[in-house]
Structure 1
Amino acid sequence: MLGAPGAWTLLPSAPQIPSCWGHPQPGHPFPKIPSCRRAPEPGHPLPNPPTLESLRAWTPLPQNLCVLETPRTQAPRPQSPPQGGPPELGHPLPTAAAAAASPDGAVANLTVAVVLPERNVSYAWAWPRVEPALSLALEALQRGEPPLLPRPFSVRVEFMSSELGGACSEYVAPLKAVDLKLYHDPDVLFGPGCVYPAASVGRFASHWRLPLITAGAVAVGFSEKREHYRTTVRTGPSAPKLGAFVSHLHAHFNWSSRAALLYVDRKTDDRPYYFTIEGVFQELQDGSNLTVRHHIYSPDEGGADTAIHFIKASGRVVYLCGPPEMLRRIMQLAQRENLTNGDYVFFYVDVFGESLRGDSARDAFKPWQQGPGQDSGLREAFQTVLVITYYEPQNPEYQHFQTQLILRAKQKFGVQLNYSLMNLVAGCFYDGVLLYAMVLNETLREGGSKKNGAPPLDNPPCVFDVDDPSCDKTPLSTLAIVALGTGLTFVMFGISSFLIFRKLMLEKELASMLWRIRWDELHFGSAERYHKGAGSRLTLSLLGDEGGSLRLCGHGGWYPGERGRVRGCPASRRCPFPPPQMRDIQFNHLTRFIGACIDPPNICIVTEYCPRGSLQDILENESINLDWMFRYSLINDIVKGMAFLHNSIIGHHGSLKSSNCVVDSRFVLKITDYGLASFRSPCDGEDTHALYAKKLWTAPELLQKGRLPPQGMQKADVYSFGIIVQEIALRNGPFYIEGMDLSPKEIVQKVRNSQKPFFRPSIDIGVHSEELAVLMERCWAQEPAERPDFGQIKIFIRRFNKEGSTSILDNLLSRMEQYANNLEKLVEERTQAYLEEKRKAENLLYQILPHSVAEQLKRGETVRAEAFDSVTIYFSDIVGFTALSAESTPMQVGSPVCAGVVGLKMPRYCLFGDTVNTASRMESNGQALKIHVSSTTKEVLDEFGCFELELRGDVEMKGKGKMRTYWLLGERKDPKVV
């Protein structure tokens, strides 16, 4: 053994106190506390070893609860690993006992199941931390150090992760434990370490009478052995042991009155601080009869002030349990309130020594610092703080174990572990393996079994009591034999007659061809030509005589009198499920088989048509809002349909996908394209994008065969269902993977390769519930045997989907109401878009035409021409612009513009008449930077009396002759002129 689990040590936090704990300093409130350790018995590796009866009943091992240092127990001598390197977990591992111990050379199998977090190494019981410890323990058993197993054993370790979203999950852990029990039937179970998962698994283990060994599960409730946790054994430190340690402190210092507990309790995680301090509270209140008050520390503003008021009113002995930030904040306020003068003592429960800023509890510690070299001024305040941590064994055997643990974690998992107190938990798992081997050794030595520890019966039935009438094996009489033979003959004759009659009836029904549909009864094109709405739209895939596709997949058509969907198929009487049997399948969540056309080369099958389209179409339509009630209804419909299909004569689907789930006019989801696997043929060629896109729902065991077989498997349907559930939950398409842009072909190849970690879609607990994530992970498990059937899925969904208990009518009405609300919202959005476009068009029209003219055009009126008696027309021109443009490059002349076309023709508002022509001629005869006006305009300006004009003279105007014109020089600023 590496060391006695459950030992605690008390460390002063101030640097003036030497690292050798227990020696007082001047002014320090604590004298030296004597050790109460007990010496181990001679020749036994454990102090006060448990009896065989207590171990066989799987009661907790008695531990030294009041020690301040742990006994140095004898550990196995470290040796070099055997040739060939350490054995891999998950493969048979021979043990140390010689083959001669078993005369017949038989090897018994021992299965060890492990349920722990797989990746998050912030847990002390994470798999990368514990797996090396289990390997070292099994290698020690293999070498026979200590010699615990009396005969050869083949040990197999089966591991499953209890992790979901990077944290311990109380939903995943029991499911994994059930899977391990169902598919591997283990002899012993290790883990979980988190409290809530361990509670669920512990109840299962008690029901199965299966020993559960863990170095975690610190809560007080696991001490209850009579009912829920009869088979649970904790080899590591626990909250009751911490409580006993604190109780001993109070008894030694004669603190018999009051105590205050201040702790952090986050109910969103596994509540580690709450369950750690729980043992202290229970032991002090119930065992020591103290007045114990407790308070939950809040990190919000004002939470620390409230905590200080609580400490003042509760007691002078204070226990703190929380992150280091809480300790620094409390001590900062305690120093401000003068609580650090020696009248108060603060115990900080830090089991892994995180506040000591060192690799282990014996290293240098500066818990008052916020960072390296960042002294917060609390050095004096921390003189009254003592830190309670796990005690780290100092023997060389444990140090060698810790070195090997870190080395193997780096080699196998790529995880860099530190020399820390967290490694003590892995050592407790190491001890757990040896303890189990010890109990198994003594049980087998007394003639017991590894199951239940029961010895063989001393008086088996029908062995010694041969006179018992129930053991009479007298041969049957001749008459009885004749009667039995005659009866069997009649039974065989009856069965044969029934089979022959059934075959004849099937042949007769096949001959009558009630299911047959002639090709000329199927119509393709507009439905208005065929009974208006009486017909139904069809989809067609045609195949020739040799099964070659005619590439008509997706053609629309109509079948008079029946709502049907047509799909091509090579019809054959050798099909395992002929059409007469298909017609007998009637269920609300399966599309109805109508018939088949076998007129070569037009061979197809006709099934019920659902006008709402496929589930894939609905999920990809962003205008349809699906709340979770609606989504769970769709999932329930799939589960009901597949459960019925798996229990029918068909037995499986084989090609379940969201495009094969259709929705009828009443929003009821139905499964289509089931059965008649040999009749169906895909319309997509080999190695095409569409072909791989249809394989995104296919299970890996079917992908590895290269092509889908005619007959699928039920577990493959469960895998496809898991992909559909992820598609419904996230609405990002099938097999959505966050942060990765892979083609369907790349995804299918990764799934087919089946390399660990197995390639699966993304899960987002922020979008859907944790229970739904668990369901998806179980459905797309790599091993088909680990996937639940649809009966189990139906029960699982019913547990967390409370809305699923409503009646079909209520559910339907709710669906119709939601659909109507969606339509109203859609109409409102389209109306707003129309009004916005109308406003833009009117603004453009007002920019092109005068407002009065635009209003007449909007009203559909004719715009009449107008005559104006007196107007002034202004023309402006840039002199020399043409010459400047000719001498410049296009980039020097041009600039960005915005262009658009309004209507089919460009609208314009034209001015015409002699006045316009005159103004144009004057503009062409003008000069740069001068305003050229006519004599008529000069007369108008003279009426104002404030403009300065200069006579230019008579100018020859084209088409006008000579005209007298003037230059407009400016405006006179005469204050007398109004």
Structure 2
Amino acid sequence: MRDEFYHLINIGSAGYGSLGEFLHLVANNFGWNRFALMYEKSELNEIAGDNACFLLMSSLIDEFGGTELDYQVGDLQLLNITYESFLKEKIGVNYGIILTCANHSNIRNIAIEAAKLGMMDRGEYLFLNFALYNNARYADRPWFDDNDIENNEMAKKGFSGFLTFYPYREAEFKKVENQSIRGSFYLDDLYNSMLMYLQAIGNKFPTYSNQTLRGCDIVQSMLGKSYLDSKDDEIILNCNAQKVVEYALVAQDPDGISKIIGIYSGKNKTVIYWEPGNFTFPPDVPRCGFDLSKCPTYDKVNILLISLIVVIILGLIIVVVVICRHRKFTAEIYSEAWKVNYDDIVFLTKDRRSSIHSLLPSKELDEMSLVGDKQLFAEIGYYKCIRVAIKKLPDIKIDLKQKQLYELKIMKDLSNDNLVKFYGACIDNPHNCLLIEYCPRGSLQDILENPQYNLDWSFRMSLIMDIAKGMHYLHGTYIKSHGALKSSNCLVDSRFVLKISDFGLHFLRGNEKSESIDEDSYEYWKYFLWTAPELLRMSDPPAEGTNKGDVYSFAIIMQEIVMREGVFYTKDRRLEPKEIVEIVRKGPDGNNGVPLRPTISADNVSEELDEVTALIEKCWSEDPHERPDFTALKAKLRHLSRKETDMNLLDNLLTRMEQYANNLETLVQDRTKDYLEEKRKCEEVLYQLLPKCVAQQLIMGEAVTAEAFDSVTIYFSDIVGFTELSAKSAPMEVVDLLNDLYGLFDYLLENFDVYKVETIGDAYMVVSGLPERNGFRHAFEIARMALNLLDAIKQFKIRHRPEQPLLLRIGLHSGAVVAGVVGHKMPRYCLFGDTVNTASRMEQNGKPLKIHLSGATKDILDKVGRFNIITRGEVEMKGKGKVKTYWLQGEMEGNTYLGDDLVVPKQTGAQRPCTPRPTRHSFSERNRPKLLDGRRTTLSDQINFISENPKSNGEDGGGGDQRVPEAEIRSDETEVPLLSITSPSFDISP
């Protein structure tokens, strides 16, 4: 039926098939399947015998025959409806893509009405116009009409939403304004039709020479053939007897000029050109819906009101945040976290100093011997178990204002590897003092003036770089500058890292120099040798100095490091500090036109470090503006450091320190790498036997005072049936069992804030809440630890009886205890009080693989609220009578807060123990601990190490467990065995 339609009806040069194919491609590309058809009679009626636009629309709809299509037919003459009504009633509420076909003037009127209705404002409507013939009069500006100038702008706006399909050759013809000169395109089509007809007859005549030619045969012979028209252009008829035509798609640019954006080849059935540029193709359904119901409407007044409210709220929030931050900041200032109670400082008395040599580790003895007695017996003490240097301040009453409190807070918060840590200040007159980090190596001045130190250039550059790093950080803080930078204020810690001290807090240090030193003394004038000349010339220089003044001081220190001849060394002149200061103050006028500076001899500087000399000279320039800042100095020194050797600085320096420390020659000769390793292990064992704070007090020879703790939680456990199991096992098997089990327990304990008290046979005792108090968190830590241990014991395998499970019985109780060290030989950290007995009773009256809780522990855990606890009932306990107890079943999820002391993080899933990392230690005759000759100790130790796999020949590895020779630490008094140590050899799946 479709073929008959095209065979019987054909109008002129228009190729409906090619046009429909082009539209179909465009529609598929943009997902269009809803159209409104808007057409009326045109000037083509005389040729087609009927409405050409109707035939065109029918052809286009027929092209979409295989596609589900929603369309609205709009024959405007048949419907007898105006453009405005049709656009508003039929299109505006249903369709976004409108297909139009009419003469040009009507199309222009449609564009004007669409623009008036606002259909072009949001770009949601698109008109696809089909012009079967192009009129040169409207080719460039289809919206322009000389007879309707007042509507040209509205028409231009309307055509911005139009796309027009033109026959391509017609669109590209030479535009001739006078259509009569061009001639009628109808005559062109008639001529081409007759030419094609005659060619078809000529092709058929030889075959039908004796017969009458039928019209249908002639037409059939024309299908699919190509012909040449009057202009020698190729004409192709398709199977529907329609001319295959190339079509152009034309859009209007922002200037209102028509522009081709696409070309379709009917011969190849493809789009051969597509450049839409900025033209947008809307969907067939507007984004906001046809009635704008999908887009919310906004009231400008409401928008302004809401915006004003939002601005006010934001302003209030900002004000509140600023106020809160200010209050928090003020609270931090007045909290006085830096303040030190004088009674909390433990000073080293003469008696304690006399015994310190026998108690401190040999590493610290080495450091003290190197810096001399003057450094060792300076004001040194302990504050909260931290060794500190105590710097005395003038005995004056100190009244602190907010600015000074703020500076103290800043000093407390400062943290840098190259700045001495400030721990706090005591301002209880007459005990005014500052507590700073203790650096056992002494000052840089001590090291430089000590000939025993043989410092190579790598180490010297490291010292210079440390100063630059520290000053660079200091200049970027609130402190801003040092003001008293000198080599005696540069301290060296045990790791040979240089740290700068005596910065900031000048309101406390103000009278320090004037009160402690006579103004006519050598020391008084030596103090100014590092001071910049511009500061010396001031009658009242600022105590905090200046940044450029610090750079000058840095240059003097660099010269000290390079020359090692003392501060402000002048080779050819012997000048007293007072003379030097006076000459430097006068500047060039006081030294024959040249500023006086220290000597840098060429003999002391290698060729590779000539740049260091130039850098020093630049830093002590007379003009402060010519001196570089520490940012530039840091970058320059880093560049110079890369030229130095890559040797490990610490190893190199340790070797040189040991070689030139005369009072340690014998010890250095006997010391080996193995000895240092074994000594470290011995100290670790001591810290495992006793709390670190307590152990350090014992090392210093101090008596440890027993301490009462108001609330702790104690854990007791034992193995049910251990006696029977031991009777059926060999002694070594029992040792392996306990070693594996307690090695696992010890590993899991590292995840909790608990302290292991002791193990006796199969009994295991742990406490939380001491020696460091943790509020009420101790019950939470012990409960979670017990659950982890119970989970781990269920997976534990006995080496010699893997099929037999271990049944752990656990008891917990909370209460007050007293803790202290008992005994002088093999001292033990013990707990005393009824709480210990009650915890033991809870374990004894428990059941296998259960956690037995007392009411006291249960009450604390109820505050946490995250544990599953059930009531066991009343239990008869020895010495206690009937006691109501509970079972701890497990841990639940959730965030729980316990006062201000405990914040429990949320967890998901059941808590499972970590998989321990098995470790092995082997000791043989070759690497066994050596005797610590010359070390006096108040503790007599003997430490036996068990190797899991030692070989009989002394090499590591090999067969089963054997006891190897003992490592002993003997004293003049006695020798006492301390502990047998083995390594865990267990493996538990997570």
TM-score under structure 1 normalisation?
A: 0.32
Q: Which has the higher contact order (CA 8 A, sep 6+)?
A: 1
Q: Higher Cα Rg: structure 1 or 2?
A: 2
TM-score under structure 2 normalisation?
A: 0.31
Which structure: greater strand fraction?
2
